[in-house]
Amino acid sequence: MIEEQEGKNNKEKKETKKSPSIETGDIYVMPEKFYPSSDKSKNKNLKLILIIGGIFFLCLIIAAIAVLFSIKLEKEAKPVERPEVVEEPSVEVAPEEEEPKVEEIIEEIEVEEEIELPEEEELPVEPTIPLPPIPVSSIDTDRDGFTDKEETLYSTGLNRPDSDADGYLDGEEIKNLYNPAGPGLLSDSELVNVYNSSQFNYNIFYPSTWLSRSIDDTGREVIFNSDTGEFVQVIIEDNKLGLPPLNWYLNQSPGVSKEQVTLAENKYFTGVKSPDTLTLYLVPKTGETDLIYIITYNIGTRTEMNFKTTFDMMVNSFTPKLEIEN
């Protein structure tokens, strides 16, 4: 027993030599900063760095945009300073010639062609004849459209505008081919005669106290004479080209413009009236234009007309001969 006890003690001594004794109160631990960092803390630091960097980059972009915008506003608001112009001695400089347009070139060509035309080919400009004065009628005491001379011619009252008391003035009645001194038509009275032209197929009234005569056997010219020397004449002219009365008259009257001519017509004829209104150029309304019928009132050297209403009556009575016969 004693030996076993000694053997155990020796064994414990050996073990004591091998491992020094450590006191529990003297244990030491390594500081945390020397421990290796974990993966989780690494990720957190990386995210924080990226967030801070993104915010900084965004701030830089916003600042750059603000600077550019402010520069632009300054440029727009700031007036452009123009350099002062130093006046130099005036020097005549030929203006820059613009390229001519097509229309201008055409006009220049046309002008050149007109200039190059020989003088003999230029048409002479016919001078326009001034309008002749229209004669006025002589005295009309009762203002019924009849001159005092016509009152005597038709046996109407010199101081009675409506001699037959039918409600119409004497002058208006005779122009419309009614008897101014009594009832009925003018052709049924003894106040007018009817001239019949067999050669040229027309009829015309004229005062019964006037004289009618044909200039020659052709019957182309017939004169109706009054006791004052005034007369009405009917003339027949050829119209071989079949021209309208206006064209025919202008061809026969150089210097007269169409603006100086007025239209004229009655029931059966149509045409134009001369500028002085005392000559009519007529053709039948039936369309026959081979002849021109001319009715003219000639007052001679007088300045006043005694028979203007009588002339109007004769024009209105001018009809084709067959119309009267029917």
80-112 confidence digits (pLDDT tens): 455 555 555 554 555 555 555 555 555 554 544
22 — pLDDT class (breaks 50, 70, 90): very low
| Alpha carbon separation from 208 to 168, 193, 199, 267, 286 (Å, rounded) | 22, 5, 22, 23, 30
- The answer on pLDDT for 24 being more than 50 is no
pLDDT of residue 57: 82
| Domain range summary for the chain, segments of one domain joined by + | 137-190, 192-325
pLDDT of residue 62: 87
Q: What is the mean pLDDT of residues 272-292?
A: 94
- What's the CATH code, domain 192-325? 3.40.1000.10
134 — pLDDT class (breaks 50, 70, 90): confident
Q: What is the mean pLDDT of residues 167-185?
A: 96
Q: How many percent of the chain have pLDDT more than 70?
A: 67
Lowest mean pLDDT among 115-119, 249-253, 292-296, 297-301: 115-119
- The answer on pLDDT for 143 being more than 90 is yes
Task: Check residues 42 and 12 and name the one with the higher pLDDT.
Answer: 42
- The answer on pLDDT for 117 being more than 90 is no
pLDDT of residue 122: 55
Task: Check residues 74 and 31 and name the one with the higher pLDDT.
Answer: 74
55 — pLDDT class (breaks 50, 70, 90): confident
In the numeric block, which tokens belong to residue 271? 């045409």
Task: Check residues 56 and 76 and name the one with the higher pLDDT.
Answer: 56
Q: What is the mean pLDDT of residues 121-145?
A: 77
- 3-state percent breakdown (helix, strand, coil) of the chain, nearest 5: 35, 20, 45
Q: What is the mean pLDDT of residues 30-54?
A: 67
| Alpha carbon separation from 111 to 105, 107, 123, 127 (Å, rounded) | 10, 6, 17, 25
Alpha helices in 117-147 (DSSP H): none
Average pLDDT of the chain is 80
Find the length of the chain.
Answer: 326
Do the beta carbons of residue 190 and residue 205 sit within 8 Å?
A: no
Rounded to the nearest 5°, which phi and psi values hold at 286?
-70, -10
pLDDT of residue 19: 46
In the numeric block, which tokens belong to residue 108? 């220049």
Report CA Rg, the chain: 64
Task: Check residues 38 and 176 and name the one with the higher pLDDT.
Answer: 176
DSSP E strand stretches across 53-158: 136-137
pLDDT of residue 278: 95
Distance CA 249, CA 259 (A): 13
**Per-residue pLDDT tens digits for 232-252:** 999 999 999 999 999 999 999
